[in-house]
Structure 1
Amino acid sequence: MGVDVGELGRPAYLRLADVLRARILSGDYTPGSRLPSIAELGRDHEVSEQPVRQALRVLAAEGLTEGRPGSGTYVRFRPAPARIPRERHDAAGSPFAADGTAEGGPPWTHDSQKSYATRGLADRLRISEGDPIMQTQYVRAAGDGPARLSTSWEPLALTGGTTAALPELGPLAGRGVVERMALIGLTVTRVTEDVTARPVLEAESVPLGIPLGATVLAVERTHWAGDLPVETADIVLAADHCRLSYELGVRTPRG
């Protein structure tokens, strides 16, 4: 069976990707099943090897399939996206702990260490490149919900030498950015988030449980005390495993 001749203006690999995608989404190819070999697909759809390989790369980039070295291409299991609320910034305690409590499943693991601001982090924190910062990496393994990664950075010029220096250790462990900053005299007044989609990085693919080529949602979050950034973080999630849900306040009109 060849690809749709009614769309001969499109490249052969895209037409083949359309056919295979439709069969995956319709359930003809079930999650976990192995797709026909490259030679079989080329013969069945009357295309050469190169368009088949390109079509398979398209499907892998969309998160529909994954290649297994020496075995072939398989349809990926695609769990229903988990709803992840993003309105807990004023909740007591760590936002990571709040997520875990609300959703169940495994807790976050964390590791803090002193580091120094790169140019990009310096711009985000409005400090100088090379200034000391506290870096905390968080990992939440896949359980009942999707895996997540986060790295948080705080200027040690603000927290160094105080009880708030270590976000998840010491007397203020797990109290969250808002409460920890308040206890050293800094009032968080707002939180900003920028969300982008990008390919997963090699260092992220294993802990997130997704293949290279898959898409992630990257959330760049910053806590502000007035015009002063007191913390910034990168939160990374598998795009097809979750759905970010925002609740926005509405200003009541006067009169």
Structure 2
Amino acid sequence: MGHAEPPFQRVAADLRRRIAAGEWDTGDRLPSRAQLAREYSVGANVLQRAQERLIIEGILEGRSGSGTFVARPRQRMRLVRSRNRERRGDSPFRVNMADQGRAGSWDSRSEVRTPAPEDIARRLELTPGDLCVRTDYEFFADGRPAYLSVSWEPMAITGTTPVVLPEMGPLAGRGVLERMYSIGVVIGNTVEIPRPGRATQAQANLLGISVGDLILLIERTYYDTDGRPVETADLVIPDRSGEVVYEFGIEHHRA
């Protein structure tokens, strides 16, 4: 025997069907939750869960104090993670956005002499409390929030160099590869660990999404050619507006 479908999933599926059939157009306000709950013979909490599921999917949007509306279809932005884009000379994000006909930009805030928390110290092979430069980024595509990143670099590597601040100095905004190369540090590879998550209040505020919305968390670390970690970052990408694509080159060896 199969498991019965939870009531909220059944209601969500029918609301999805009705919206697809054109019963409500883009921008239309849905009937009140109480009215829809009576129509489906379910409790208000079941109806709320069904609508929250469609909000996460980008089909509905909730407006504080106004109700629930049919959302505009979103064109999800593609964030391509590729060794071909990890080249010196420009920001991988700006290259990625230009390929999609979008303008890529970002705001940043760096703090020097920031003690490494335990998890960051582990990733950078430091002792907890070792001093780092922490940089918080907000990335934008055509002026709209795209994703967030928090980057950490050991001051033992950059502290006495002109590139200690990622977004200031002679190579401001040129990316980790270019900046590290300028001080004799050659990046050999990068490791990314993607995990699903839910947006916190702070993340939701910056990204223009709702608390609890699906996000993709990527833990990224750059290593030099000796295998030493030289930078690590946490990327936060909203699922409803962005999708991550991994692109790998294939090496061919002749027999």
What TM-score do you get using the length of structure 2 for normalisation? 0.87
Match of 2:240 in 1: 240
More displaced 10-residue stretch of structure 1: 109-118 or 74-83: 74-83
Match of 2:111 in 1: 113
1:31 and 1:120 mapped to 2: Cα distance?
Answer: 44
- After TM superposition, the structure 1 = structure 2 runs for residues 46-57 of structure 1, keeping only pairs within 5 Å, are 46-57=41-52
Equivalent in 89, 95, 103 of residue 92 of structure 1: 89
1:150 and 1:77 mapped to 2: Cα distance?
Answer: 27
- After TM superposition, the structure 1 = structure 2 runs for residues 117-196 of structure 1, keeping only pairs within 5 Å, are 117-143=116-142, 147-196=146-195
Equivalent in 27, 33, 38 of residue 38 of structure 1: 33
1:78 and 1:52 mapped to 2: Cα distance?
Answer: 22
Gaps of 5+ in 1: 1-6
Is the CA contact 2:98–2:104 (under 8 Å) kept in the aligned structure 1?
A: no
Q: Using the TM superposition, give the Cα deviation of residue 222 of structure 1 relative to its aligned residue in structure 2, in angstroms.
A: 1.2
More displaced 10-residue stretch of structure 1: 144-153 or 191-200: 144-153
Q: Percent identity?
A: 38
Residues 64 and 199 of structure 1, relative CA distance in 2, 3 Å threshold? farther
Is the CA contact 2:145–2:208 (under 8 Å) kept in the aligned structure 1?
A: no
Q: Secondary structure at the match of 2:233?
A: strand
2:24 and 2:14 mapped to 1: Cα distance?
Answer: 11
**Greater share of residues in strand:** 2
Q: Deviations over 1:48-102 (max 9, x none)?
A: 3332223223333444333333221223333111222222112413334434554
Residues 162 and 116 of structure 1, relative CA distance in 2, 3 Å threshold? same
Q: Using the TM superposition, give the Cα deviation of residue 165 of structure 1 relative to its aligned residue in structure 2, in angstroms.
A: 0.7
What is the identity, as a one-letter code, of the residue corresponding to 1:77? R
Is the CA contact 1:60–1:213 (under 8 Å) kept in the aligned structure 2?
A: no
Count matched residues: 249
Residues 112 and 26 of structure 1, relative CA distance in 2, 3 Å threshold? farther
1:105 and 1:182 mapped to 2: Cα distance?
Answer: 26
2:251 and 2:93 mapped to 1: Cα distance?
Answer: 28
More displaced 10-residue stretch of structure 1: 213-222 or 225-234: 213-222
Residues 56 and 132 of structure 1, relative CA distance in 2, 3 Å threshold? same
Gaps of 5+ in 2: none
Is the CA contact 1:17–1:58 (under 8 Å) kept in the aligned structure 2?
A: yes
Q: Using the TM superposition, give the Cα deviation of residue 44 of structure 1 relative to its aligned residue in structure 2, in angstroms.
A: 1.6
Residues 118 and 209 of structure 1, relative CA distance in 2, 3 Å threshold? same
Residues 149 and 97 of structure 1, relative CA distance in 2, 3 Å threshold? same
Q: Using the TM superposition, give the Cα deviation of residue 126 of structure 1 relative to its aligned residue in structure 2, in angstroms.
A: 1.0
More displaced 10-residue stretch of structure 1: 77-86 or 188-197: 77-86
Q: Deviations over 1:181-240 (max 9, x none)?
A: 122221110112122221112111122121223212222221111321101112222212
Q: Secondary structure at the match of 1:240?
A: coil
2:247 and 2:115 mapped to 1: Cα distance?
Answer: 34
Q: Secondary structure at the match of 2:187?
A: coil
What TM-score do you get using the length of structure 1 for normalisation? 0.87
1:133 and 1:78 mapped to 2: Cα distance?
Answer: 42
